[in-house]
Chain A
Amino acid sequence: MTPKLFTLLLEAALSTLGISLISIAIGFAIAMLLSAALLTGKSIYVLPARLFISFFRGVPLLVQLLLIYTLLPVIGINVPGIVAAIVGLSLCTAAYQAENLRGGFASVPRGLIEAADVAGFTGAQTFIRIRAPIALRLTFPALVNEAIMILKSSSLVSVVGIIEITKMAQDLASSTYEPIPIFASAALIYFVINSAIALLGRYAERSLKGATA
């Protein structure tokens, strides 16, 4: 295990970070849409949202990735593998994030929503300015956890050939015949990134608490 190999792993870590961050952001947007759909209380919106959440939480991510990877070309969408990977991760994390947010939305005080209503807010305004920010603040620790989960799960996109930490480690391990130092280094990089996210999350949580008080 030379410093050069470790540098290659670090470069691949940028790819892991990029894929994870983009997926979490897109997943968050979709999760908000799902939450809005659930809050309408109309079964035409609620049922599809529930089905989406149940499916993407009920099927292994690996299977979802394989499904999206094979399905997209069949329905005539030809995108690079990395796009398929991001789509897969985003849909999966959207379902988990929506489930986390559900509890937050349920604990938004009724009075605030009524007050917004009285102040002449439309439903969309109430959602964007009152409900969503409060729900997000309440469920922030779950979002940090989910970010860590996605970072770890992004190792699965190596299966569809995307070069990130895990794929790079696999390639290096088979070409150098030194699997232990290489996979251990990969594990170390994941661990450091995850610890950093957890730390940042706790820091952000404290400042969010300050903002509430």
Chain B
Amino acid sequence: MMFDPQVIIEKLPEIASGLFVTLWLWIAGVLGGVVAGFVVATARRFGGTLVNAVLGAVVEVLRGTPFLIQIFLLYYGGPFVGLMLDPIPCGLIGLTVYSAAYYSEVFRAGYASVPIGHVEAAACLGMTRFQTISRIQVPEMALIVLPPAINLAVILLKESAVLSIITVPELTATVSAIGSQQYAFLEAIFILAIVYWIIVELTDRLGRMAENRLSRLRFSKA
């Protein structure tokens, strides 16, 4: 057998559209997950024992079961409870919920990292809870939270490949379909792997740059 990636590379526009779907699902999933995860972590911290226990249980279940099973439940189970979703919205919701669970744990650790004295000092100065969160706790936890947050974003990019199984037309689905049509499945998967590898490496680098930036900013103000 000949290894001939040419037949795949000819399909560049299609690959680009798959890549585009992957990228926007990923970014939307991460942003949605960060926002929802922060809300969950904040609610767990300030919402009382019951809220903490219920949200904690939900987070544990989401973190303790495979993403694929969650997606199947949503995609195949949804119509039985009146939730008829097309693959893309289903993938977006699934990815956001899944990432929210993990991001909430990142922010939980972030809240725990802020010294209690700082929070008490803010209270003594008459800051409201909202002011304390936005001016003291969030800026202080930023540096602690950034590395795991970026790590998680990379994991979610790779996790998004799973959405090809429910026929979301993202990168993996697109490229493997081209591979089957062109009788060049191995070449297709090979190219697919390289594309993911590049994006992951780039994200890692960007993340480390952001970390350096942020730590310098922090120390210069201190």
Which residues 150-205 in B have Cβ within 8 Å of A in the complex? 157-162, 164-165, 172, 176, 185-186, 189-190, 192-193, 196-197, 200-201
Rounded to whole angstroms, the CA-CA distance of A91 and B172 in the bound complex is 20
CA gap between A78 and B113 in the complex, in Å: 52
- Contact of B193 with A179 in the complex, beta carbons under 8 Å: no
A186 CB contact (under 8 Å) in B1, B69, B160: B69
Note all chain B residues with C-beta closer than 8 A to A158: 68
Selected interface stretch from A30-38, A113-121, A188-196: A188-196
Name the interface residues of A186-213: CB closer than 8 Å to any CB of B: 186-187, 190-191, 194-195
Residues of A within 8 A of B189 (CB): 63, 66-67, 70
CA distance A190 to B68 in the complex (A): 12
List residues of chain B with CB within 8 A of the CB of A153. 66
Q: Which residues in A have their C-beta under 8 angstroms from that of B72?
A: 166, 169-170, 173, 179, 183
**Chain B residues, Cβ within 8 Å of A70:** 185-186, 189
A46-75 interface with B by 8 A CB criterion: 54-55, 57-64, 66-67, 70-71, 74
**Whole-angstrom distance between the alpha carbons of A54 and B186 in the complex?**
21
**Could you give, for residues 76-90 of chain B, a 1 whenever the CB lies within 8 Å of some chain A CB and a 0 otherwise?**
110011000000000
Interface of A is mostly: helix
- Min Cβ gap B140→A in Å is 25
> Measured between alpha carbons, how far is A58 from B76 in the docked complex, in Å?
30
Decide: A64 and B193 in contact? CB cutoff 8 A: yes
Q: Do A60 and B161 touch (CB < 8 A)? A: yes
| A74 contact set on B, CB distance < 8 A | 1, 186
Q: Are B165 and A60 in contact, with the CB atoms below 8 A? A: no
A96 to B29, CA, bound (A): 24
Residue B53 is within 8 A (CB to CB) of chain A in the complex: no
Looking across the interface, which residue of chain B has its beta carbon closest to that of A153?
B66
Chain B contacts to A: CB under 8 angstroms: 1, 60-61, 64-70, 72-73, 76-77, 80-81, 157-162, 164-165, 172, 176, 185-186, 189-190, 192-193, 196-197, 200-201
Q: How far apart are A99's CB and chain B's nearest CB, in angstroms?
A: 11
B64 touching A194 by the CB < 8 A rule? yes
A156 contact set on B, CB distance < 8 A: 66, 68, 162
- Assess the B65–A152 pair: CB atoms within 8 A: yes
Alpha-carbon distance A66/B77, docked complex (angstroms): 27
Chain B residue at smallest Cβ distance from A64: B193
CB of A112 within 8 Å of the partner chain: no
- Give chain A nearest CB distance to B186 CB in angstroms: 5
CA distance A17 to B160 in the complex (A): 24
CB distance from A119 to the nearest CB of B (A): 39
Q: Does A126 contact B (CB under 8 A)?
A: no
Please state if B67 and A152 are interface contacts (CB–CB under 8 Å). Answer: yes
Could you jot down 23 A-B contacts, CB within 8 Å?
A: A54-B197, A55-B197, A57-B200, A59-B158, A59-B197, A60-B157, A60-B172, A62-B161, A63-B172, A64-B193, A74-B186, A152-B67, A155-B66, A156-B66, A166-B66, A166-B72, A180-B77, A183-B69, A183-B76, A183-B77, A184-B73, A191-B61, A195-B64
